[in-house]
């Protein structure tokens, strides 16, 4: 257990569906991240939140919409996804903002399949 939980662990959705991924961290950290992990590719940073404010949005398509209602919770809302969006979506947190400063604590991920 890393102190970061994600639900659901697996999700299958059609291209017209709307779903949400949830992440919760129990570590008292100030920064939270969404990553996309595809097979044999480097982790892709999608969004960064610091103290509930979005500080990075790395050219992610608008069909992905993040939400951070408080410093412990992070959501990723999904709509009209494409099959190429199928991947493992990882949530992470760290004490401070800045992806390259502190150790990051990752959740187990949501395996997303888009049909």
Partner 1 sequence: GQNIDQPTEMTATEGAIVQINCTYQTSGFNGLFWYQQHAGEAPTFLSYNVLDGLEEKGRFSSVLSRSKGYSYLLLKELQMKDSASYLCAVTDSNYQLIWGAGTKLIIKP
Helices (H), the chain: none
Report if residue 107 touches partner 1, rule: CB under 8 A.
Answer: yes
Query: Which x/- pattern, by CB under 8 A, does the window 38-67 give for partner 1?
Result: --xxxx-x----------------------
Contact residue for partner 1 among 109, 110, 112, 114 (CB under 8 A): 109
Q: Which of 14, 28, 61, 98 touches partner 1 by CB under 8 A?
A: 98
CB of 109 to partner 1, least distance (A): 7
Which residues contribute to the site for partner 1 (CB under 8 A)? 2, 4, 40-43, 45, 90, 98-101, 103-109, 111
């Amino acid at each position: 257990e890393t102190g970061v939980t994600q639900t659901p662990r697996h999700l299958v959705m059609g291209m017209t569906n709307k779903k949400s991924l949830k992440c919760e961290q129990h570590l008292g950290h100030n920064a939270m991240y969404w990553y996309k992990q595809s097979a044999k590719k480097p982790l892709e940073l999608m969004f960064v939140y610091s103290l509930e404010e979005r500080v990075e949005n790395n050219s992610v398509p608008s069909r992905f919409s993040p939400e951070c209602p408080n410093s412990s919770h992070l959501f990723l809302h999904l709509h009209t996804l494409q099959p190429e969006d199928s991947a493992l979506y990882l949530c992470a947190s760290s004490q401070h903002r800045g992806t390259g400063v502190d150790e990051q604590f990752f959740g187990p991920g949501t395996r997303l399949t888009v049909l």
